[in-house]
Amino acid sequence: MKITAYNCRPDELEYFDRFAAQYGVELALRKEPAKPENAGDAEGSLCISIVVSPMKAELLRRLHGLGVRYVSTRSIGYDHIDLGAAKEIGLHVGNVSYTPDSVADYAVMLILMAARKVKGILLKSAAQDFSLAGVRGTVLSRLTVGVVGTGHIGRAVIRRLSAFGCRILAYDPYENDEVKRSAEYVPLDRLLAESSVITLHVPATRENYHLIGASAFAKMKDGAILVNTARGSLVDTDALIGAVESGRLGGAALDVVEHENGLYYNNLTGKALSNRGLAVLKFFPNVIVTPHTAFYTDQSVSDMVENSIKSCKLFAEGEKNPWQLV
């Protein structure tokens, strides 16, 4: 069985080699993302593996015409794939799972960095200003933290937060018994109103688009902190900028932003950013911005490559596939 893997980074190669041998598959590795111009590279492959490059209708039709029947994205999120077009042409799509510990660790790190004003401390230190002015932080145990989304990652975040002794509120349409031992499920509006820190762990669905917008910011406590390690489309960037500028929001820590595709994972040193919202957010002293790296650990990279190969193999063999979406 042959799999064409696009978007292959150098750090993934050892895992591709290891798991191709383990699962007995032939790999054609491509550094470039899948595009209509290089779709021909997938000829002879029943399945392809991608990361987060856009998979629009034209490209999906081209791949289907070449005999590709399954697209596996090496990510949990799949909003970069036109699922409607895939269904229409009979192309199947799957995502992967990876350890929730990577993103959970990172989310808690960002919460602590924001609460302790680490960005301000680093900026002052870089200018050799070692005074205490403007960098007094807050003790996490004295705060109420609201966790929006209690799937695998949200639950892992709650387990970590429980060790700090903070009050934890949770919101999810589907409640979980494990969560109830450490947190209180409440309606979203109450979570927004009572939480000093709000951390997002929900998928980028149509229903969740701009989940945190102007009305949500208006319901938050003055000085609240927003943390987003999930998906950029959950937060209305213009509303976020307005909340920071007005002082309504005490700070934010963002590993993801709207319209990050084409920017993140590229070296853009010396270039003007085409994403004005990102450019503005980067320069607020109380907003931490990192380039979608919460997932990025050795274990997660291994899991993403292995589970993409496993998903393709299960599809090819007609076996039950826990990652298949359509």
E strand or H helix at 168: strand 167-171
Give dist(CA 292, CA 285) in Å, integer: 19
The gap from C-alpha 283 to its chain's centroid, in whole angstroms, comes to 22
Name the 3-class secondary structure at 211.
Answer: coil
DSSP state of 196: S
Catalytic choice (292, 306, 317, 319): 292
Classify residue 133 by burial, with Cβ atoms within 10 Å: 0-12, 13-18, 19+: exposed
Catalytic choice (74, 201, 231, 306): 231
DSSP state of 206: T
- Annotation marks residue 231 as catalytic: yes
Give dist(CA 236, CA 227) in Å, integer: 13
Mark 219-249 as b/e (b = at least 16 C-beta within 10 Å).
ebbeebbbbbbbbbbbbbbebbbebbeeeeb
- Whether residue 18 contacts residue 42, with contact meaning beta carbons closer than 8 Å, is answered with no
Catalytic choice (260, 276, 306, 319): 260
282 closest CA partner among 119, 137, 127, 117: 119
- Annotation marks residue 292 as catalytic: yes
Give dist(CA 179, CA 206) in Å, integer: 25
Q: Which residues are catalytic?
A: 231, 260, 292
